[in-house]
Structure 1
Amino acid sequence: MNKYLGRVVVGLVVSSFASQAFATEWNVSVWGKRRAFTEHVEKLAELVSEKTNGEFTFNISYGGLSNNRENLDGISIGAFEMAQFCAGYHRDKNPSITVLELPFLGVETLEDERRISQAIYEHPAVIEDLARWNAVLLMPSPLPQYNFVGVGEAPETLAEFEGLSVRATGGIGAAMETVGAVPTSMSATEVRQALDSGVVKAVSFAPHAHMSFGTVESGTWWTTNLNPGTVNCPVVVNSDALDALSDEHREALMGSIDEALDHYIDYYENNTMKAWGPLLEEKEIQQVTFSDAEIAAFREAAAAPAAQAWIEENNARGLPGQELFDLVTSLVAEE
């Protein structure tokens, strides 16, 4: 081999090693299947790869890396670099963000859910709370108000929820207790079997999840306007993995969040919500609408007691419970 050719070969080998050294792949733990709920994660992966010419990529796993209730634990030990979870799955592990799951907060749009969640995520107490798990809050998964798909005879009044076993997490569960329902917290992947077997008679979800997890396949009724609240399901990253990124890769990640969320909201509104009404009609699911008076009484019975209990409980934890609640309510008032 002549000297010139030798230098070319050595240069190519060095270049190859350098390329491999700068390549970054993050494992991302989500669950279920690709749906509206994960579109921002998918879009973020696409944008980051594009901006780094394929040097920074995501391996998005739908249930292959962890159980959805254990995603925060996986983040804490660095089992994977990014994950999605819902605060209500383990309220004691992330109490600060459960303020966003209180019933009847009055958030009406996905854009407002996004704005308010992002503001709460930036609060120092919230940052510190999640840091206990080596987690950095990256972006929310804005969801509309939850309602119930159920089986059996449809309730004509809220009083008919008395004794009814329902799947309802976080603040929604607390709200349903005020009308006599018996809430149980289970992950999304468990609800279809629970509904089919009679463990629960009704399931609270946002529309995308009712479609994705099959409750509309066996359900016979749907509440159109109960709207007790929603759940907060952030996407987080492992703090060590985030710190280890090069400046270029970090900028590609953080600089893509807004576009990913824009895509998510557009997809939810123009795909999921447009399909929901026709699907209810197709499945001949009875749509139950409660009177304004009943909804007002429900709100009065559930909202203030749940908020006060949350504030007291989290003040006792050493969190600024009143401050976080007041921040949410002030942000809602800005809508």
Structure 2
Amino acid sequence: MTRLFPYPTLLGEPALEITDVAVDGAALPYTMISKPQQAVALHQVERKDWEEVELSVRVLAPQRELSDGPWSDVACVAVSTERATNVRCVQRLRPDGPGSWSGAVTLLKPQHRDRVILGASVVATVDGVSGRVIGSTPRSWVVDLKAEEPAREREPVVTESDFRDGPHEWLRPFKDSPWLVDVSGDTPMVHLNTAFEGVAQLLNGSGGPLEKATGSLISAQLASDVWTSMFHAAVSGLDLDEDGTPRLPEGWRGSVLRTMLPDVLPSMSLSEALHEVHSRQTEGPGWAELQSNIHYAASRRAQVPRRLTMAIRTVDRSQEGTPR
């Protein structure tokens, strides 16, 4: 995402790499680190009572820009954050040479419980002001304490529950709803109501052509609800830069915004669309008018038009030759 700063910054982007991971001094298996995904999986890590994780990191920044730019006292810091515990740690890295830094970032188990986001920033003195950020990694690493495999994004988890007579009392006020979408946590949840007769069976694709077409249509409506809910959750409470510019969030929230914003505000760049949506959502004017765009974008991602067309064609074929 493009950001505007009132002082010179790097045109090139710093790159962060996790080279090694150790858990209580023991090296993590290579299969639990994915460089293409920029993700680390720490699911149990062969032990449930680990105390600390040490991430060996390296950052490379454009060497020529750094040497020729209008700044001094250039340094690099690694920044680790977690939404679940509201922890933010900054670790200064040691210089290895022009445009190169390395070091170790330590994660203590009492401070983390879900997903840690690790990025890096290059800071310098610019126009006499020290500690100004002149470059940041465009894509952070994800360190997942619960995942068995290293992956950045989390797909919505679908569970089946009896909203009327099941063990989860908090679902009972929604007993007449076929499903409930919960986007309050770090993983979106979809609860299917088994007390709503036939929905779970249709979504599982059972029955003949008509039943399968109906199930596909219901699945599209459910997916549209999920995309809409995730979008609203993603634009709520965005983190801001010092100048008030909204930052694209990490994880599934950032993925949802990257996917939907081009359809919500097609005439704008990603950064412009994010700023516009944030402005409308926080200040009020224009937010109600934007709901039609959001609904359209969610329906498009859920393939509602295509599935509706297929369902209509299936019904037409089933009625061919039937007396009317």
TM-score range, shorter chain: under 0.3
TM-score by length of 1: 0.24
TM-score (norm 2): 0.24
Kindly name which structure, 1 or 2, has the bigger radius of gyration based on alpha carbons. Answer: 2
Q: Report which structure shows greater RCO (CA 8 Å, sep ≥6).
A: 1
